[in-house]
Amino acid sequence: MGNLGLCGKPLAPCKSSKKKILLIIAIVVVSIAAILCTMVAILFIRRRSAKSKQEARAQKKLKAQHHTAAMEVQLTADEDNYKKAEKGGELYFVRKDRGFELEELLRAPAEVLGSGSFGSSYKAGLLSGSMVVKRFRQINQVGKEDFYDHMRRLGRLSHPNLLPLVAFYYRKEEKLLVHDFVANGSLASHLHVKREPGQPGLDWPTRLMIIKGVSRGLGYLYKEFPGLTVPHGHLKSSNVLLDHNFNPLIAEYALIPVINRDHAKSSWWPTSPQSSPTRNKPRKRPMKIPANYLQQGKRANADLAAWVNSVVREEWTGEVFDKNMKGTKNGEGEMLKLLKIGMCCCESSVEEDGIGEKL
């Protein structure tokens, strides 16, 4: 009477368990089917994502090839020379923490930065970062071995105010020098860029810091190359780059031993016979650009030094300084001292001490 669940003879027959078994089987089958469907969906999504990424990479590669056609033309004299460089040429790295192939460099997305008397500069966007390729056509003063020796010597230089050489490439017709890209641009771009009204330019403390950095870099170059007439090369505002903290980096330095000297004389010293790079004593000119040029905010020209000299003689020094320069309230004394140093560096006499001692 108390066991309501009892069944079987002589009691009532037990209910069949087949329905329970079928229910369990159905639940298991549905669960397995759900798991399989989930796995198939995941595989489909992954496949689709991988296909999309592959298509994106293909489009990016196609776009990069499209944009680099100009650089391939600029970096090679003709198609045969390009094939020769691609087949047998290679980059020589003076910095061992870098590594990429010449073909990768030539085929990278490129932007023309500018051209000068010795060649052109390009910005190449590599996967490892942006590089600047300087293509020189007037570096034909020495043979391959001497060129390699001098480039390795430049690669050993280490100073916070010199733009370090990363790699170089030699071919009889042309040479490539590879540097890191400096995103903050050149000193020239900061002095002469058209700014919006109210947008600040370089203030006096920043300009003074740049001048000091350039001076330190020049001093280091004169120490490392005591027998070289002009180790600083063509020191101008476009050859002084600024890092993200506005620290200056001198570029295109110490190339006199490997460039065409006649071309150097006509490009660097067009008006002064005593400034020839073949003379024994240097012309005292390099600090004129960073010192006076930075203070005035004017573009350099043949009459700049004469104009500054006349202004100093008449004691109109207020006319010399850039009127748009900020931070000059307590710096007039420093500016006048620096102006005198700059004028000393403009002296044309070659009988006095060298520029290294001035620095």
CATH for the 70-180 domain, from 3.30.200.20, 3.40.50.300, 3.90.1300.10, 3.90.1150.10: 3.30.200.20
Domain 187-358, CATH 1.10.510.10 — does that match? yes
- pLDDT value at residue 165: 95
Query: Two tokens at 71?
Result: 């650089």
- pLDDT value at residue 199: 66
Residue 333 CB neighbour total at 10 angstroms: 8
Return the HEC string of the chain: CCCCCCCCCCCCCCCCCHHHHHHHHHHHHHHHHHHHHHHHHHHHHHHHHHHHHHHHHHHHHHHHHHHCHHHHHHHCCCHHHHHHHHHHCCCEECCCCCCCCHHHHHHCCEEEEEECCCEEEEEEEECCEEEEEEEECCCCCCCHHHHHHHHHHHHHCCCCCECCEEEEEECCCCEEEEEECCCCCEHHHHHHCCCCCCCCCCCHHHHHHHHHHHHHHHHHHHHHCCCCCCCCCCCCHHHEEECCCCCEEECCCCCHHHCCHHHHHHHHCCCCHHHCCCCCCCCCCCCHHHHHHHHHCCCCCCCHHHHHHHHHHCCCHHHCCCCCCCCCCCCHHHHHHHHHHHHHCCCCCCCCCCHHHHC
Rounded Cα distance between 36 and 31, Å, is: 9
Check if the beta carbon of residue 141 is closer than 8 Å to that of residue 172: no
CA dist 235 to 111, 239, 287, Å? Answer: 24, 6, 8
Check if the beta carbon of residue 177 is closer than 8 Å to that of residue 134: yes
Check if the beta carbon of residue 220 is closer than 8 Å to that of residue 156: no
Rounded Cα distance between 316 and 294, Å, is: 18
Compute the half-sphere exposure of residue 210: CA atoms within 13 Å on the CB side of its CA: 30
Exposed, middle or buried, 97 (CB in 10 Å: 0-12/13-18/19+)? exposed
Check if the beta carbon of residue 181 is closer than 8 Å to that of residue 129: yes
Q: Which residue has the tokens 């102006």?
A: 339
Rounded Cα distance between 234 and 269, Å, is: 9
Give domain limits for the chain.
70-180, 187-358
Phi, psi of 13 (to 5 degrees): -65, 145
pTM for this structure? 0.63
Rounded Cα distance between 44 and 114, Å, is: 50
Phi, psi of 355 (to 5 degrees): -65, -25
Check if the beta carbon of residue 288 is closer than 8 Å to that of residue 218: no
Find residue 125's DSSP bridge partners.
Answer: 130
Rounded Cα distance between 329 and 45, Å, is: 65
Along the 359 residues of the chain, how does pLDDT read in single tens digits?
556 666 666 766 666 566 778 888 888 888 899 999 999 999 989 888 888 888 887 777 666 555 454 455 444 443 444 444 344 467 899 988 888 888 888 888 888 888 766 778 899 988 888 899 998 876 766 788 889 999 999 999 999 999 999 999 988 878 899 999 998 999 988 887 766 666 677 888 898 899 999 999 999 999 999 988 788 888 888 899 999 999 999 998 998 888 876 666 655 554 444 344 444 444 444 444 455 455 555 555 545 556 566 655 555 555 566 666 766 666 777 777 777 777 776 655 544 445 555 55
